[in-house]
Structure 1
Amino acid sequence: MSGMNSDQLHRSTLGIYSSLINEFNPGLQKLVSLGNSYIQAFKTLATTSDAYFSALSKVGERAFHTASSRSIGDVLIQVSESQRRLILELEGVFRSFSLEVLDSMEKNVRLDRDYLLGSRETYEMQLRSQAAALERLRRRPSQGGSEYVDFLRESHNQALQEEERRYRFLAEKHCGLIESFTKFMNKNGVSLQQKAAAWTEEVDATRRPEAHRPATLDNIVSSEESVIVSVCACYMFIQVGMREEEIRRSRDEMPLGKIPSRAPSPQGSIFRFGADSAGGGGGGGGGRVMKARVAHQPAGSNPTLLAFNRGQIINVLVQQPRNGWLFGRADNSSRQGWFPASFVEAVDDPPVSPAPRGTNPFATVKLKPTSTNDRSAPRLYRR
Structure 2
Amino acid sequence: MSYTTMILGVVLMEIAESHRKVHNELEENFKRFHREVIVELEKKTEMDVKYMNATFKRYQSEHKLKQDSLERSQTDLKKLRRKSHGKHSSKYEIKENEFMETISSRQMDMQKFIADGCREALLEEKRRFCFLADKHCMFSYQMSNFHEKAKEMLAVKIPSWQEKCSDITKVPDTVATMIDELSSTPEQSPQVERYSRNNGEPVVPPPAPPLKHPISPLVTMFNPEPRSPLTSSSDHNSDQGSLGDGSLSRSTSQSSGLNMGRRTRVRTIFPHTAGNNDTLLSFDDGDIITLLIQEEKDGWLYGELEKTRQRGWFPSSYCRPHSESVISNSSSLGTPVRSLSVVSLPEREEEEPVLLPPPDYSDDIPSRPVIPSTPSPQNTVSLVNGTAKAPFLGGGNPFATVKLRPTVTNDRSAPVI
| Same topology, TM > 0.5 | no
Structure of higher RCO (CA pairs closer than 8 Å, 6+ residues apart): 1
Between Structure 1 and Structure 2, the one with more helix by share is 1
Bigger-Rg structure (1/2): 2
